[in-house]
Every structure is written in structure tokens, then in C-alpha cells.
Amino acid sequence: IENSVVKNQEPVAMQQGTSIAMKNLFFNVPARRNFLKSNPSELRHIVDEFIRVAMAFPEIFFSLSSNGQQVFHLEKGSLKQRIVQILGNNYNAKLVAVQEHTDYLNITGFVGKPETAKKTRGDQYFFVNDRFIKSAYLNHAVMNAFDQMIGKDSFPMYALFIDLDPAQVDINVHPTKQEIKFEDEKIVYAFVQSAVKHALAQFSITPTLDFELDAGIQNLDAVNKPYTDEIKSSAASSSLYQTFTQKNQAHFVEKSSNLGHWKDFYEKPGAGPTTDDRLRTTDGAAKFESLINTPRQLTSANVPSFSFEDVDLLQIHNAYIIAQNDNGYILINQQNAHERVLYERFSNAVSGKAIATQSSLFPSTIELSAADVVLLNELLPDLHQLGYMLEPFGNNTFVIQGTPADLSQGNEKTALEKMLEQYKHFSNDLKFSRREKLLRSMALQQSIRSGTSLTQKEMQTLLNELFVCTIPNSTPNGKPTYMSFKKEELDKMFGR
């Protein structure tokens, strides 16, 4: 068939099935070709559509090849086998079957256990009468079923098939037919939510209350030892007992109570210097005053050179760093600060100053889903500049020959998987280039997390690197890295 005209039609000997090949798709409308993105991007769209069709019909063999290379080879089998073939073997033991049969509709399929939840919605599939659909309303039903089992920023995996009377569905809502309207959306919502909840409870996934008595309680002195008259009279004469048994005693505070030393409850015995001691002005803090009071232009040439080596820093809640000067102090968010440092380091790397690569003595392999393989192939040139040495190993597998020198050994597989998830987490509406999204993803993923304890040397190094950045006061996403507090403002807050 050429240009919608049948050129030749004749019998041919071949295996049973359907084979479709497309070439020169835009030969008669070349202007449309200008709206296409890069080849890897268009291949990802093809893979997405292929997965939707292949998952709807697991009883049929599917194969996809691109430029002579086989991307998918899906043998016919059960729905669970098809899901594992498409999404990866890591789902093999982490799928929960969903089956709900009613007079109005039938719901079948699988949901992933809570530990399979990801930061993206990629592994979520709804099918109505074997046709793939997108429905934020039904997705909300599944999210409610997973309530308190996964984080608010995580999304569960599911592949659910809804079979109902076609007369109850209006498919003429969107040109792609991926958005539909149900005659009674509320009842479909209720059935989907209850079906997923029932499946999770049936396989003991949902949290349950344990009413069994802890054996350790039986060994307590209050249970084992006899309750003698002496112990009884001693308990009855105590002030605590009287406040619960006598009238008008609930809020009574004894005058003899030693409340004057309440501060002792908050001080550890033998503790080191107090907060006031650590925040006392030093020579380095006096020098640091110039850094805060100097007007800042967001260019590297105007950023004052300053070393935090002589400044005594304080970390609170393992998340924030405090640096004091004569006019107040600044509060630095360690994760945001590190994210800015990493982003500028990666930006310099892809601009020509590549990050040093540490070759692995024993190269490891990483297996990905077919969709992630297409994505990783697209990112390989930039990853090489960032210190990763990856080589295709066939069958959706890559060999990790080397990693950035500052990445701890043994974490390379986890770092790559999380980086891909973070990359996919960026909204398609954001007009960022592929490289920009990669840099932001890696900076966010590898930054120091809140809850990490830092030594004085680590805090000083972090702040030294932060204030030589081009834009040290915010992350790539616009979040502040630090805030300054003046002493005048503090005095005003306390009425001084």
C-alpha cells in the first residue's frame, strides 16, 4: 500500500498472524516531519503504545523491532506473565491478584505490593473492555485503596481490566479514545476501590491490629511479684494516686515539687558545650558578616571569596546548618545547598569539563524494562560526560564499567535506577531540554538527605562549595538554599 493506494495484493507463504512494517511515513506531508522530536523520543512513544496493546491481549504473541534490533519479544501466556515480561522480573513475586465479579461489571488484573510504588505514574494501566484508557478519577480510587500504605508522593503499580456493558460507556470524548465517560462514574469508582482494598486485605498486605499479648509483659515485676499490703499502702499515700482518686486534685501542683530545675530534664549529663557556647561569635563569624551584608549579584564574578574553615557551625535536626555573625545568623538547608552544588558540578561536566570516572574492578550489570532501556540509550552520551561508563549487554541489560569517582562503590545500580525514576518524574509540560532534565534529576537524587548527620569538616566543605556557585541562594527548581536572620528582627520578636 502506497499513499493509501493498494499497489499489490497476492497470497504469500508465512506463519499465522499479522506483520506490519511502516516506511517513509511522511513522504507526502514533509511539513509534519518537522514536528517530530528526536528518534529516541519517538521510539518511546511507539513503545508506550505497543505496551498498551500487548498488555490487553496476553494470549497473543507480540514482537517489536526497531532499526533491525529487537526491542520486545513477548510470548503468549497469562496476564501475570505478560506484566512480568513488560515491566521486569522484579515484579514476579510482588503482584497481588484483583478479582471482583458483580452483576454490573467485572474487575480483574493485578496491583503491585506497596514496596513497588514509584515516584512516577508510568506503570499504571486501566483497560475498559480491553481498550486502554486514562482516568484520573479511577486512579484516585486506587490511591485511596493504598491509603497509609505508601507515601503521598508515591504511585502504586496496577494493571486493571474493567468489563461492563458497552452501552454504559461513552468513548467519543477524546480523539485518541483514551478518555471515556461512564454512565454512573460513582458506582465504578466504588467497585474499583473496594476490589483493590479486598485484594490487598486478602493477601495480608493491609496493616492489621495485633491483639495477641506480648510475652514480655508477663515477665514484668508488676505482673510476677505479689501485690502486698505494704506496696498497696505506699501507692495509696503517693501524691500521684491522690490526684486521680480525690476530687479537685487533677490540676493540683504540690508546692514542694522541685520544678525549679526543669531545665535539667533537657540537658544530657556530661554533655559538651551548650548551644549558646557553640553559637558564640568567633573571629571567623566576624569575617562571615561581610558575606551576608554584601549586596549579591547572581554572577560568579561578584560572589565574595570566603572560607568557612574558621566558623563554628551547628547542625540542628540533622537537616539545617546554622552559621552566626555579629548581625544575626543564616540558616542553611543542607539538602537544598548540596543540590545546588551538584547541579553546577554536573553542568560544568556536560559543558566540556567531564567528571573523572572510576573503573570498576568487577563490573556489575543492571537489567531494566524495555521502556527504560530506550530512555537510557537516549541519555548515554550525557551520562558518559557525568562519569558513567555503560555498555549494552543485550536483552535489556547494561554493563556498568565505571562510575563517577565520588560515588560510593556498590550503589551504582540503585543510583541509576533512582535517577531514571527521577528523570521520568519531571512533567512533560515543563519545557526543559533532555540534558537539563537529566542534570536536575541527578542533582536532586544524589543530594544529601535530611536526617543525615554531618561533621564540622563536612559542613564547612559544603558551605565553601555553595558560596562559590553561580547562583548560591536557590536550587535549580527555585527553592531557597539559605535564609538570613538579623539580630534586630530577633530582638523585635522578643520585645527587646
- Total Cβ atoms within 10 A of residue 384: 17
- Which of the two residues, 412 and 206, has the higher pLDDT score? 412
Mean pLDDT of 432-442: 79
pLDDT of residue 216: 60
Q: Between vectors from CA 419 to CA 398 and to CA 136, what angle results, nearest 5°?
A: 115
* Higher pLDDT, residue 246 or 96: 96
Q: How many CA atoms lie within 13 A of 129 on its CB side?
A: 12
Confidence class of residue 111 from pLDDT cuts 50, 70 and 90? Answer: very high
For the ranges 243-247, 282-286, 375-379, the lowest mean pLDDT is seen at 282-286
**Where do the domains of the chain lie, and which CATH numbers do they carry?**
30-74 (no CATH), 90-202 (3.30.230.10), 275-424+432-496 (3.30.1370.100)
Give the pLDDT confidence score for residue 220 in this predicted structure: 63
pLDDT at residue 261 greater than cutoff 60: no
**Tens of pLDDT along 1-47?**
888 888 888 888 888 888 888 788 788 887 877 777 777 778 888 88
Instruction: Indicate whether 53 pLDDT > 90.
Output: yes
pLDDT score at 355: 79
- The pLDDT value recorded for residue 219 is 64
Task: Look at the pTM and tell me if it is higher than 0.85.
Answer: no
**Could you give the C-alpha distances from 169 to 138, 399, 413, in angstroms and in order?**
14, 48, 44
* pLDDT digit string, tens, across residues 310-332: 778 899 999 999 988 778 888 99
